[in-house]
Amino acid sequence: MTTRDFSPIDGRGGFTLIEVMLALALFALLGAVLYGAVSLGQGAARKTEASFENNQRLRSVMDLLASYIRSSYPFRPNLQDAAIFYQGDEQELNFVSAHSVAMGGRGIAKIHLAVEPETGMLKLEEALPVTSDEGAGGYHNSFT
């Protein structure tokens, strides 16, 4: 029995079917690993961006609340009444501030902060002019 040499010269050289299937399986496995890594990186980038935007919003709200509280002003409805700084309970707070967003950062406004029970979000209301009458006219500004 003679052995035959499969050299490229006689046209019988090449890869076997098993070798081709093994190479395709390795490429598919490598592609799946790379896709998973890229997908994981994109998900992490989206989460980081969402967290950054949420932190920016919280920082803006805290800066606004701090400016209102730093500028709080004792309010006296009548000359006979005692001056009121803050009124409220654990769910809401009323006070008068010398900082008014509606008037460009100056002017006295009545501030009402409340936590909405169904959503847990903080609601801020600003009323101008400052009066002891709740139903009085004037400018009202609110946001959540």
Give the per-residue pLDDT at 44.
Answer: 96
pLDDT digits (tens, 9 = 90+) for 17-34: 999 999 999 999 999 999
Cα distance between residue 89 and residue 83, in whole Å: 18
| pLDDT score for 45 | 95
Task: Give the domain ranges of the chain.
Answer: 15-70, 72-143
89, 98 contact by CB (below 8 A): no
- The DSSP annotation for 41-69 comes to HHHHHHHHHHHHHHHHHHHHHHHHHHHHH
In this prediction, residue 99 carries a pLDDT of 80
Residue 7, pLDDT score:
56
**141, 90, 98, 96: which is closest to 115 by C-alpha?**
90
Weakly modelled stretches of the chain, pLDDT under 70: 1-12, 105, 129-144
Model pLDDT, residue 88: 86
pLDDT computed for residue 24 by the predictor: 96
* Structure-token pair, residue 25: 């399986």
**Within 13 A of 132's CA, how many CA atoms are on the CB side?**
9
